[in-house]
Amino acid sequence: MKTYKVISPLKHDGKAFKIGSSVEMSEEEAKKLIKIQVLEETPVSSPEPGEKKKK
């Protein structure tokens, strides 16, 4: 499962998601919602080993 950003109000698995929130679902489910501009992919960024977090 991947995490996606909600860009249009969404109801998924009985829960309401507001614009700007994140939702986790399968790529198969998300494909359709990305196509109709309800979701967008959110890049997973984790710092490289030894890299400090920005303040």
CA dist., res. 3 & res. 42, Å (int): 7
- Burial class from Cβ neighbours inside 10 Å (0-12, 13-18, 19+) for residue 34 reads middle
pLDDT in tens, 11-34: 998 999 999 999 999 999 999 999
Residue 55 has pLDDT above 90, yes or no: no
Tokens, residue 14: 């009985």
What's the confidence (pLDDT) of residue 47? 47
Residue 50 has pLDDT above 50, yes or no: yes
pTM: 0.72
Q: What is the DSSP string of 2-47?
A: EEEEESS-EEETTEEE-TT-EEEE-HHHHHHHHHTTSEEE-----P
Indicate the domain borders of the chain: 2-41
